Amino acid sequence: MAMQKSLSYNQKAQILATDGYDETQYHGAISPPIFQTAMFSFGKKSSREYRYTATNNPTFSIVSKKLAAAESGEACRLFATGMAAINAVFLSFLKSGDHIVVSENVYSGVKTSLRNFEKFGVEYTYVSGAADEIEQAVRPETRMIYVESPGSKLFDVLDIEAIGKIGRRLNIMTVIDNTWATPMFQNPLLYGFDLVIHSATKYLGGHSDIMGGAVIGAEKIVSGIHNLGAAMDPHQAWLLNRSLATLPMRMKHFMENTSIIASFLEAHPKIQKVLYPGLPSHPNYEIGRRFMSGYSSLLSFITAGDYEQSRQVMERLKIIRKAWSYGGPTSLAFHYGKEFRRSLERLGYPPNLIRLHVGFEDPDAIMEELDYALQAIT
């Protein structure tokens, strides 16, 4: 059941630019101050809402209200990193003997965490993410369904409405990583999910200079999440708040640039396949259109030739930097083959897979560089 009606893109932009902050409280300051303090006094004039920054801070409140509203949720909790947010959800709602159904496409850090949770008696089952597979994997002790859609490696898109319905019908908590789409392009809470997680390090922060995580959902659920000593720093929260004001513009620009690059790569003779949910050729394109209003900057492509030739493609890149992450103004590429070769082959993909984050550089310059790099394939 939706928490509120769907908001338009412009309504979300308005929320992220202004909501959550009352300048009359702070001498009319247009930009809110940073509450760079570890604690608050218990005086008569003090707010009972704030006692210790490890649990809450006015700067957190400003950001949390914006993110919750943009995701059509009621409450948001901020964390030092995306993985801190994910682990907090696991530790807050799971206990020994519980079982999780997990989509295979989740971030690799999630898989590392789950392996560590085994020693506490938590079990898990990986599935493709198809709704029927998820339901078949459910056990009497299943307490959570955790998915990522779109995935950030192979970019499969899941039927989040069907998954949300399974969770509601079977009374199982549903959690989704919505980092790729951001609140601007997808709002899973409207389709029955209980919690939405973001790595704020990516698009929400948007400048490759902060780390953070966020969990959004109904107040009664979010209030039960413990921060486990992994609260966001006030200065990071202030930088995140500043970035949120430009998120709508940045996401539109990302989509414009990436649609050009994705089409270029798809037509290139030295590319076998492009994995991007915004291309009509994507196998889940129609599913994505049901839930997403736009597409972000991250895609993967499989080069022609062999693994070593695809490595040579990477070596020729100059404008496009070689790095793990995504979401900032600089184009980045990462070769999955060496470190993820086994998992790729298990899923039916060759090791010559390159992930590309399309930044704000001139698309012509990016295409020229990619074309030059691909000439390494003979």
Digit-coded pLDDT (tens) for 114-141: 999 999 999 999 999 999 999 999 999 9
Cβ neighbors of 118 (< 8 A, separation 6 or more) are none
Helix (H) or strand (E) holding 213: strand 213-217
pLDDT greater than 50 at residue 1: no
Res. 227 pLDDT band, cuts 50 70 90? confident
pLDDT at 12: 96
Q: Calculate the average pLDDT of the chain.
A: 93
Per-residue pLDDT tens over the stretch 309-366: 999 999 999 999 999 899 999 999 999 866 676 767 776 777 899 999 999 999 999 9
Place of tokens 């900057």: 297
pLDDT at 336: 81
Residue range(s) in the chain whose domain bears CATH number 3.90.1150.10: 248-374
pLDDT at 49: 83
Res. 63 pLDDT band, cuts 50 70 90? very high
pLDDT at 339: 64
pLDDT greater than 60 at residue 78: yes
pLDDT greater than 80 at residue 98: yes
pLDDT at 3: 47
Q: How far apart are CA 376 and CA 304, in angstroms?
A: 10
Q: Given this structure, which CATH class describes domain 9-245?
A: alpha beta
Top pLDDT among 48 and 73 is at 73
Place of tokens 């192979």: 154
Q: How far apart are CA 221 and CA 71, in angstroms?
A: 15
pLDDT greater than 60 at residue 2: no
Residue range(s) in the chain whose domain bears CATH number 3.40.640.10: 9-245
pLDDT greater than 60 at residue 229: yes
Cβ neighbors of 14 (< 8 A, separation 6 or more) are none
At the second CATH level, the architecture of 248-374 is Alpha-Beta Complex (3.90)
Closest to 172 in 3D by CA, of 229, 102, 75: 102
Place of tokens 């599913």: 287
Per-residue pLDDT tens over the stretch 168-193: 999 999 999 999 999 999 999 999 99
